[in-house]
Amino acid sequence: MTTGFTMTIAGKAMAGATEYDVLDPADETVAGRAPVCSPEQLDQAVAAARAAFPGWSGTPFEERRKLVLAVADAVEAQLEPLKRLLTREQGKSLDDAAGEILGFGYWLRGTAALSLPETVNEDSGERLSVTRRIPLGVVGAIVPWNYPLGNAGFKIAPALLAGNTMVWKPSPFTPLVTLRVGEILRDVLPPGVLNVVSGDAALGPRMTGHPGIDMISYTGSTRTGRQVMAGAAPTLTRVTLELGGNDPAIVLPDVDVPAVAEKLFWGAFANSGQVCLAIKRLYIHRDVYEPLKRALAACAATVRSGPGTEPGVRLGPVQNRPQYDRVLDLLHDSRASGHTFAAGGLPQPRDQERPGYFVPVTLVDNPPEDSRIVQEEQFGPVLPLLRFDDVEDAVTRANAGEYGLGASVWSADPEAALAVGRRLEAGTVWINEVQHLTPDVTFAGHKQSGLGSEGGPEGLLEFTTPRTITLRRSDAASTTTA
């Protein structure tokens, strides 16, 4: 067990009023103990962020840019200890943990290359009018447990660059890396610019309703997203919501099955399926259904699952007990409904008795479209394979439902794939790849997958509000600037 985790408030260490155990999902031992932030301590964190706001928002943009880059450097300098801690609390392999930490740095550097626009609306003898984007104030960042650092990077980079100060809250299931990063950054950022708090289920709702927070940047489930929006309503606090998905992939009959099988497999099963943009429904044309099913089953048979710390392991456990129970519930429902499994299925009873939240890599063989495993976001290593005869039918099925996060189309003919892709109701549609995200490109959930966007110039603008200043010139010769 690693000990000594503290919150960061006003640049200083803060112990919690109490502490709680954070469990390692691979063996259910205690990975560390995290502070529980009291209501008074949250008030202090928000007050520290408010106090730091005038100085930080008044810091020249170029200086803030340098400090965002310094954050990336400082976190990457601690790659080794951070990656071990991330594997311990989240469950992913050490390689994937390193990828997440380096991805955080990559995102911060890419975002730091962006700029805020300035529009001169009028520059006449009568009037000068300029619109600039200014920061909102204090941003509350609320993050889920699948990528505790990766998802936070999507918020920290643009929020700080734009001149906001922050209170950052990890999921209660994965607070340890976040707390460590808070400790590391005490020497990098001015006090109060980035405050880190951890706690139990009460802390998130307290943040959304906090009158001192100007914006909530939330990533998590759609169900909780609705509560965040309701919690923010009384104070009309701005929200961006990055929510759940049930992403379809459509495989057209002309694909080269051996070439796409492994890409589709990892598109669905990376991080044991706990990726918002994972392929969660795989629609396969009947001409290639059987060979692709066999190729995916072969991938499932050879991939190594186990504790993320073991060499050669690619897939770790499901991150926490409630999510493990949810995935098992879906598998029980599939079995009770008479579905067949092309790979995996429910864990053996003796495996269920052992500690650790391991679920076999499972392929459900063409379950009915209205079954729960198709209609619900599984967020675990279980994938329904769905046969289609006609692409019209595949598009209709792919577009059904409340989600619209991502989608992909797979074909040897890019034009044919694009024609299908343009009809999919999703914020990002990939052709012949999936989950490719870069900091200069915006992603946004459609329908109930989100509100607002992250990444790219539009994601940066979310952390700002326009301010127009007009100057009525007294005479045509004036050159005063606004």
Exposure string over 137-161, b if 16+ CB within 10 A, otherwise e = bbbbbbbbbbbbbbbbbbbbbbbbb
Q: Does the protein bind ligand NAD through residue 220 (CB under 6 A)?
A: yes
Residue 253, burial from CB neighbour count under 10 angstroms (0-12, 13-18, 19+): middle
Residue type, 55: G
- 471 neighbors 482 (Cβ within 8 angstroms): yes
Residue type, 393: D
Q: Does the protein bind ligand NAD through residue 240 (CB under 6 A)?
A: no
Q: Does the protein bind ligand NAD through residue 375 (CB under 6 A)?
A: no
Give the SS3 label for residue 368: coil
User: What is the length of the chain?
Assistant: 482
Q: Does the protein bind ligand NAD through residue 242 (CB under 6 A)?
A: yes
Instruction: Measure the CA–CA gap between 365 and 393, rounded to whole angstroms.
Output: 18
Tell me which of 89, 100, 247, 377 binds ligand NAD, using CB under 6 A: 377
Residue 33: phi and psi, rounded to 5, are -120, 130
- By CB under 6 A, which span of 89-97, 106-114, 226-234, 294-302 interacts with ligand NAD? 226-234
C-beta of 143 vs 196, nearer to ligand NAD: 143
- 392 neighbors 233 (Cβ within 8 angstroms): no
- How many binding residues for ligand NAD (CB under 6 A)? 29
C-beta of 271 vs 334, nearer to ligand NAD: 271
The contact mask relative to ligand NAD for 156-195 (x = CB under 6 A, - = no) is -------------x-xx-----------------------
| Gyration radius of the chain's alpha carbons | 24
299 given a catalytic annotation: no
Nearest approach, Cβ of residue 135 and ligand NAD (Å): 22
Query: In which region does residue 429 sit, left (phi positive, over 0), alpha (psi from -120 to 50) or beta (all else)?
Result: beta
Q: Which of 276, 299, 377, 462 is catalytic?
A: 276
Nearest approach, Cβ of residue 208 and ligand NAD (Å): 5
Tell me which of 165, 208, 237, 366 binds ligand NAD, using CB under 6 A: 208
Tell me which of 2, 59, 131, 221 binds ligand NAD, using CB under 6 A: 221
Nearest approach, Cβ of residue 40 and ligand NAD (Å): 19
Give the SS3 label for residue 315: strand
Instruction: Measure the CA–CA gap between 435 and 275, rounded to whole angstroms.
Output: 9
Tell me which of 157, 228, 295, 437 binds ligand NAD, using CB under 6 A: 228
What are the start-end ranges of the H helices in 131-256?
Answer: 150-162, 176-185, 203-208, 222-232
Contacts of 418 (CB under 8 A, 6+ apart): 409, 431
Nearest approach, Cβ of residue 174 and ligand NAD (Å): 8
Q: Does the protein bind ligand NAD through residue 379 (CB under 6 A)?
A: yes
Tell me which of 25, 182, 450, 459 binds ligand NAD, using CB under 6 A: 450
Q: Which of 422, 426, 430 is nearest to 448 (CA)?
A: 426
Q: Does the protein bind ligand NAD through residue 227 (CB under 6 A)?
A: yes
What are the start-end ranges of the H helices in 113-256?
Answer: 150-162, 176-185, 203-208, 222-232
Nearest approach, Cβ of residue 193 and ligand NAD (Å): 21
242 given a catalytic annotation: yes
What are the start-end ranges of the H helices in 27-149?
Answer: 39-57, 61-76, 79-90, 94-112
Nearest approach, Cβ of residue 311 and ligand NAD (Å): 28
C-beta of 67 vs 330, nearer to ligand NAD: 330
Give the SS3 label for residue 298: helix
C-beta of 90 vs 366, nearer to ligand NAD: 90
Give the SS3 label for residue 269: helix
Residue 195 token pair: 């405050």
C-beta of 64 vs 155, nearer to ligand NAD: 155
Q: Does the protein bind ligand NAD through residue 151 (CB under 6 A)?
A: yes
Nearest approach, Cβ of residue 48 and ligand NAD (Å): 20
Nearest approach, Cβ of residue 364 and ligand NAD (Å): 19
Q: Does the protein bind ligand NAD through residue 224 (CB under 6 A)?
A: yes
Q: Does the protein bind ligand NAD through residue 243 (CB under 6 A)?
A: yes
Please report, as ranges, the residues that interact with ligand NAD according to CB under 6 A: 142-146, 151, 169, 171-172, 204-205, 208, 219-221, 224, 227-228, 231, 242-245, 276, 377, 379, 405, 445, 450
Catalytic residue set:
242, 276
